[in-house]
Amino acid sequence: MSDDQRLRRWRLMLGESAEESTGGLGLPGERRMDAALAALYDSSGPSKGRRRSAGLGASAPSVARWLGDIRTYFPSTVVQVMQKDAIDRLGLAQLLLEPELLDAVEPDVHLVGTLLSLNQVMPEASKATARMVVGKVVREVEERIAQKTKAAVTGALNRTARTSNPKLRDIDWDRTIRANLSHYLPEYRTVVPERLVGYGRKSKSVQRDVVLAIDQSGSMASSVVYASVFGAVLASMQALKTSLVVFDTAVVDLTDKLSDPVDVLFGTQLGGGTDINRAIAYSQSLISRPAESMFVLISDLYEGGIRNEMMRRMAAMKNSGVQVVVLLALSDDGAPSFDHDNAAALSALGIPAFACTPDKFPDLLAVALERGDVSAWADQLTLEQH
């Protein structure tokens, strides 16, 4: 990179206040990029001690032009960050109700969260466009996670269906050797397997019940999007009976909408309070065979209901044989904010509580469905992340 290019990049990063010391910007495209950045991150007009504030104005046409400019001059990953900053910093959420603006945005998970939070006030003219925006993001997430999820779940279920008289192709050699270590012959340095352990053939019946309970408070927006798509993927698998509920201070069962994750997402209502205890109570009513069930609570654990009752219910569910997992977040947003006291109390009950990225969730499902040590898996995940 030449010195001139390096200076121009510093000029774009530092803004107009660095015009003189960096030699300014020469190309028209660079000046349009600078104007787009300044509209979001600088105040209008030069001044000493510049205060970062709104420069887009509050009109839909000016925002639409700005959205067009940033899509022209920046890669999509940068566009998504700038859009999120514009919504968060400049209060532009209401303008997203304009259909022409929805056509101009770069769809991503955070934008979907914003649209869902506006769902109840969205005019009819904007709903069709909003569904297209949400649908595009859902398809992208499905393409990212569906195949891996189905493979992980199918493999886990097949491994749990063992047979003692397997065909050669179905022998699980690792488990067979471990099961026959008492028959080790030192002189031949080998194990004589008296009992074979094999993978069972895929069953057509429902093998596991999975209940997903999703906290729809505003801070969980990204998790709601990912969990809804995962729920739809799991619901498409014949070997699983999947239920999905969302909750704030009320509980809504969206299981009947799982054939279309867009319908699931528009059935949510982001924001409001949280009554985790009520959601757990409802989820308990969906579990009829605890030993074959998995309950996944996705929540930051900020409880507005009865905390002691929440803990009692979680302990009872675990003690009945349900595989219970708590995800403090299911997103790529980094370290989440959560109630540390409640997370620690759950851990003391033997219920793991941790954050998980969408890419790792299929692996978590496989461990849980095989009745593996989820806590150990989570600890290893934390080590890898650091």
pLDDT grade for 53, boundaries at 50, 70 and 90: very low
CB contact set of 305 (below 8 Å; sequence gap of 6+): 249, 274, 275, 276, 277, 278
DSSP, collapsed to helix, strand or coil, labels residue 209 as strand
**% residues pLDDT > 70 (the chain):** 82
Residue 12 is predicted with a pLDDT of 55
| Rounded CA separation 100/267 (Å) | 24
Mean pLDDT of 244-267: 95
Q: Does the structure show a pLDDT above 90 at 347?
A: yes
pLDDT grade for 271, boundaries at 50, 70 and 90: confident
CB contact set of 28 (below 8 Å; sequence gap of 6+): none
Q: Are strands 240-247 and 162-163 parallel, antiparallel or unpaired?
A: unpaired
Residue 27 φ/ψ region, left for φ over 0, alpha for ψ in the -120 to 50 degree band, beta for the rest: beta
Q: pLDDT of 145-200, one tens digit each?
A: 999 999 999 988 877 765 556 666 667 777 778 877 877 888 878 887 877 776 65
pLDDT grade for 255, boundaries at 50, 70 and 90: very high
Mean pLDDT of 86-110: 81
Residue 46 is predicted with a pLDDT of 34
DSSP, collapsed to helix, strand or coil, labels residue 308 as helix
Mean pLDDT of 54-64: 61
138 to 133, 145, 244, 369: CA distances (angstroms) = 9, 11, 17, 25
Q: pLDDT of 3-44, one tens digit each?
A: 555 655 555 555 555 554 445 555 455 667 777 777 787 754
pLDDT grade for 69, boundaries at 50, 70 and 90: confident
Q: CA angle, corner 285, sides to 157 and 362, nearest 5?
A: 30
Inter-residue contact 282 to 251 (CB < 8 Å) = yes
Residue 54 is predicted with a pLDDT of 42
Q: How many CB atoms lie within 10 A of CB 47?
A: 11
| Rounded CA separation 244/258 (Å) | 8
| Rounded CA separation 45/16 (Å) | 9
Pick from 115, 309, 113, 127: which is nearest to 216 by CA? 113
**% residues pLDDT > 90 (the chain):** 48
Q: How many CB atoms lie within 10 A of CB 70?
A: 25
Higher pLDDT, 329 or 54: 329
Inter-residue contact 245 to 212 (CB < 8 Å) = yes
Residues paired with residue 208 on neighbouring β-strands, in sequence order: 240
Residue 45 is predicted with a pLDDT of 37
| Rounded CA separation 330/327 (Å) | 7
Give the tokens for residue 149.
């999820």
Residue 80 is predicted with a pLDDT of 84
Q: Are strands 162-163 and 198-199 parallel, antiparallel or unpaired?
A: antiparallel
Residue 44 is predicted with a pLDDT of 44
Mean pLDDT of 46-52: 38
DSSP codes of every residue in 238-262: TTEEEEEEEESSSEEE-GGGTT-HH
* Greatest alpha-carbon span in the chain: 87
Would the pTM of this model clear 0.85, i.e. be above it?
no
